[in-house]
Chains A and B, each alone.
Chain A
């Protein structure tokens, strides 16, 4: 329990242990970089499908709104837990949800509630809608960083998670994604999400949705900038 004594014991052991260091081979820089060949949007979509998600590559924001609309109807969503994010704002997500009569919970509305009321609402949400900080084409991974408006539970609690990704948010490889993270200012929670929630705990057979979202959709907007002006 004593920090100093604990560390001094480790120090002595580490020093003595150096006699048993292992023989290592030279490893060139860049080893393990895989990346993705060709179009990053298509590569990301292919990996998303490979890990059990559904990818929707669309050309512009109109396409993204249509894809999202389809999903809301497909799952008969009555309430949504949403991020507040520029990518979602540019889609006019709030209006879209209002038009579809989907009750919307987001940082601004939730902070006004008591913690108990807040918990009850988000636990009951039918769908979670987020963007990403980075998406990784090689593995179909979404990197989501927590901050006010980017709640960690929005991508986790609802049975369905829909992520909307702009093409410029995609990088080829995991190493590229880590290049974008600054060790001096990491968010309190960063999640790398690769697929719907899974388990192999019964007879090693795949079962989905045991804790996190069992349905996982990624809408990739190929050309968000080409969209008409506001």
Chain B
């Protein structure tokens, strides 16, 4: 048994948690399928969009331009929402956002709240804050509902219950149903539909995140495949949407650019099933839709990121493509990362939001292979940012040490001089290379470098240098 339940609690034990994940056969089987199913679908969807690279470049340009004048776009958004009769709340941090949301709910004397999946609400721990005040919001995204019932944390930005097998889901929902539900996806979904329909029918307040907020029109855009976001924003009398400052886009005409890339990256669809564009509360004569609309705009450390070298991380549109592409995520899953956001983008965001020192392993949880950047619909240079975070880490006192620093300086000196390089490789092949000429792999290294061989072998240098081989064989 471990000290911390990684499925349920956030943590800073990356190494232990990933070791546990690697030993979890059920999780390994699920993660093993990730590349085959989603990977193939994504490839096909991108192939059907000509010049997709340029479309992603356009999306990236919109994000970059928007961030350069973010304050102006937020002001425009604020004015547009208020012109439509909506209310805008500004929250410096998660606590303020939760308090604002709680006040809105309490001002209506409401207690029945439905929610549509929102990473931002996870980030501010909204459910916990509301539960403390005696309000239990019902998560209505199917995956999010499953893990809410199980008391777990989401393991993937798009598929929060991705870590669970069909049998586990059946077990979780059977306990909730008080009867034995079969391990059948359709039956389990039908149970959730019935349960959640009654929650929707009596809900007084609906809470959602925001995928995009259009400044010029005051429109918030929600993307979903199930339709729960539409129900959450159509049935209850009050709609509260919570967004980070980076979600704003300037113009209506910018939206189709993002709609063309988001679903392709996220799930390999050309379009998600539902994209809702919500422009204020219901109008005169309409008989559905919320009577009141509130937009909570959250900073929570984003402006600090905006002014620095990792500003590009604010381009993220939370599609989850980098998770699916990442060889590390595909081995350890989402819970090992410890924070709200998992995968490569989580390895950047969690240190930024939660502190670098206590998340020191995350920037190293990458082979820097670049698959994340290649998969990203806005081409965020994630590997470069991870390297920057590593630099920051090693610049901090207590990290590295004189021996490591000497080793790297010697290495650098050697690589700069052809003469030294030749001499060093000659020496290495004639000594270690010769000794290990049969085995080829070193399974134990001494001292400080022994960490490498704790979990894998180290390739021995060849017994002959390439240049010598080339001199002899390659000339013909």
Contacts and interface: CB of A to CB of B under 8 A. Distances in A.
A202 to B, nearest CB: 5
A31 B53 CA distance: 10
Interface in A171-206: 174-175, 177-178, 181, 183, 186-205
A156 interface: yes
Interface string A203-227: 1110101111100000000000000
Contact of B165 (A111, A148, A191, A203): A203
Interface in B237-281: 245, 251-253, 255-257, 259-260, 267, 269-281
Interface in B172-230: 185-186, 188-190, 192-193, 196-197, 201, 216-217, 219, 225-228, 230
Nearest to A111: B287
B273 A31 contact: no
Contacts of A196: 273
A123 interface: yes
A188 B283 contact: yes
Interface stretch (A17-25, A37-45, A72-80, A92-100): A17-25
In this complex, the member of B61, B283, B311 whose beta carbon has the largest number of chain A beta carbons within 10 angstroms is: B311
Contact of A139 (B100, B225, B271, B299): B271
B304 to A, nearest CB: 7
A119 B189 CA distance: 23
A200 B304 CA distance: 36
Interface of B: 30, 33-34, 37-38, 48-52, 54-55, 57-58, 60-61, 64, 67-71, 74-75, 78, 88-92, 96, 100, 140-143, 146, 159-162, 164-166, 169, 185-186, 188-190, 192-193, 196-197, 201, 216-217, 219, 225-228, 230-231, 233-235, 245, 251-253, 255-257, 259-260, 267, 269-283, 285-289, 297, 299, 303-304, 306-309, 311-312, 381
Given A34-B49, A199-B142, A12 B307 contact: yes
A6 B92 CA distance: 7
Given A110-B287, A119-B201, A178-B256, A27 B54 contact: yes
Given A10-B70, A111-B287, A203-B30, A191 B57 contact: no
Contacts of A212: 226-227, 230-231, 273-274
A151 interface: yes
Contacts of A151: 286-288
B276 A191 contact: yes
A225 B188 CA distance: 46
Contact of A205 (B185, B219, B235, B252): B185
Contact of A197 (B54, B162, B225, B307): B225
Contacts of B234: 152-153, 156, 189
11 contacts: A1-B90, A16-B307, A139-B270, A148-B285, A178-B252, A189-B278, A192-B274, A193-B274, A201-B143, A210-B193, A212-B273
In this complex, the member of B67, B270, B278 whose beta carbon has the largest number of chain A beta carbons within 10 angstroms is: B270
B298 to A, nearest CB: 10
Given A13-B307, A178-B252, A189-B276, 4 more contacts: A13-B304, A14-B68, A175-B256, A200-B225
Contacts of A6: 90, 92, 297, 299
Interface of A: 1-3, 6-14, 16-18, 20-22, 24-25, 27-28, 31-32, 34, 51, 107, 110-111, 118-119, 123, 138-139, 141, 146-148, 151-153, 156-157, 174-175, 177-178, 181, 183, 186-205, 207, 209-213
B45 to A, nearest CB: 11
In this complex, the member of A7, A118, A138, A148 whose beta carbon has the largest number of chain B beta carbons within 10 angstroms is: A7
A146 B381 CA distance: 40
Contacts of A181: 252
B28 to A, nearest CB: 14
A31 B30 contact: no
A103 B70 CA distance: 52
B67 A1 contact: no
Contacts of B58: 27, 31-32
A25 B140 CA distance: 41
B411 to A, nearest CB: 30
A25 to B, nearest CB: 5
A205 B36 CA distance: 12
Contacts of B162: 201, 204
A64 to B, nearest CB: 24
In this complex, the member of B52, B70, B196, B230 whose beta carbon has the largest number of chain A beta carbons within 10 angstroms is: B230
A210 B142 contact: yes
B61 A24 contact: yes
Given A24-B57, A183-B251, A188-B286, A32 B51 contact: yes
Contacts of A175: 256
B416 to A, nearest CB: 28
Contact of A211 (B60, B166, B226, B270): B226
A22 B91 contact: no
Contacts of B143: 199, 201
Contact of B161 (A1, A201, A213): A201
Contact of B255 (A3, A21, A178): A178
A148 B251 contact: no
Contacts of B288: 146, 151-153
Contacts of A17: 67-68, 306-308, 311
B37 A199 contact: no
Contacts of B55: 27, 31-32
Contacts of B267: 200
B98 to A, nearest CB: 12
A51 to B, nearest CB: 8
Contacts of A14: 67-71, 306-307
Contacts of A12: 303, 307
A44 to B, nearest CB: 13
B58 to A, nearest CB: 5
Contacts of A209: 189-190, 193
Contacts of B188: 202
Contacts of A152: 230, 234, 288-289
Nearest to A11: B71
A157 B227 CA distance: 9
B273 A194 contact: yes
Contacts of B75: 7
